[in-house]
Amino acid sequence: MPSKRPAIIAAISVSALAVVAVGAFVFLAPRAAEPMGDDEQVADAPTYAAPATLPPLSEARLPGQIATRPDATWLAATAESTGIPLRALAAYAGAAWTKNDEMPSCGLSWNTLAAIGWVESRHGTHDGSSIGVDGTVSPPIYGVILDGGATANIPDSDEGEYDGLDDIDRAVGPMQFIPQAAKNWLGDANADGVKDVQNIDDAAMAASHYLCRAGGDLVSEAGWRTAIGAYNSAPSYLLKVAAKAVEYGEAAG
């Protein structure tokens, strides 16, 4: 039985907004709180990020394991040029490749997923956490309690299955999904038999499903902005994600 409101391992931020409602996405958006780093200056940030080129595929890729899809040489070079941890980059690039295979019309790019991962949890490294070889974040990352104070009020939806709380909800994992969103979008992206919101492969793949469902065509500026706004409706959030996605795309060449 999960305990009542255990200590928060990673308080992502102190400011928050209501859960975004986009058509059928009412209360299904991953985020219900402003991510960390809200004091950063974003006034001159872009409002759209063009998709970066997908990486070459690895000949050593394994079925069902998205992180094995990107070419190892590309991963090493791009991790160095962008500063993205290699294990996180493998998940972002693998998820983008997989989603483009499933839904070519979406055009989701790895730099968009990477930008969201950076804004949400600094690629799974917030507050001393790190991503293991298997893609699992340790210690687990939890967001602020969504009790309606400085945040949206989201009653418990998972009996503590994802967030360890059986009386209220909070965002979880490196991509910061609320439990209801995790239920709807999470899958097993590393073929280990577990759907784990604290695993960067499973979380990045879930984010790709959500973004493409919300925005449709992410190559278009309108579709991209709609997708990011569905993930978190704060205007500053879109600016941060756009700025980081552009930076990553340019750094990767």
Give tens-digit pLDDT for 127-180.
999 999 999 999 999 988 878 877 778 888 777 777 777 888 888 999 999 988
Q: What angle do CA 225, 150, 228 make, to 5 degrees?
A: 10
Q: Is the pLDDT higher at 41 or at 154?
A: 154
The conformation of residue 66, written as its DSSP 8-state character, comes to G
Q: Are 29 and 209 in contact (CB under 8 A)?
A: no
Q: Structure tokens of 182?
A: 């995790």
Quote the CA–CA distance of 1 and 22 in Å, as a whole number.
34
Q: Is the pLDDT higher at 148 or at 5?
A: 148
Q: How far is CA 6 from CA 108, 113, 125, 165, 247, in A?
A: 36, 29, 20, 7, 37
The set of residues, in sequence order, having a beta carbon less than 8 Å from that of 211 and lying 6+ positions away, is: 106, 108, 112, 113, 218, 227, 228, 230, 231
Q: Which residue has the tokens 């400085």?
A: 150
Quote the CA–CA distance of 158 and 165 in Å, as a whole number.
8
Q: Are 241 and 49 in contact (CB under 8 A)?
A: yes
Per-residue pLDDT, 163: 77
Residue ranges of the domains in the chain? 23-252
Q: Is the pLDDT higher at 127 or at 38?
A: 127
Percent pLDDT > 70 in the chain is 83
Mean pLDDT, the chain, integer = 85
Q: Predicted confidence band at 20 (pLDDT cuts at 50, 70, 90)? A: very low
pLDDT higher than threshold 60 for residue 9: no
Per-residue pLDDT, 156: 82
Q: Which CATH architecture has domain 23-252?
A: Orthogonal Bundle (1.10)
Quote the CA–CA distance of 185 and 70 in Å, as a whole number.
23
CA-wise closest residue to 190 among 22, 66, 37, 99: 66
Q: Predicted confidence band at 103 (pLDDT cuts at 50, 70, 90)? A: very high
Q: Are 195 and 202 in contact (CB under 8 A)?
A: yes
Quote the CA–CA distance of 98 and 94 in Å, as a whole number.
6
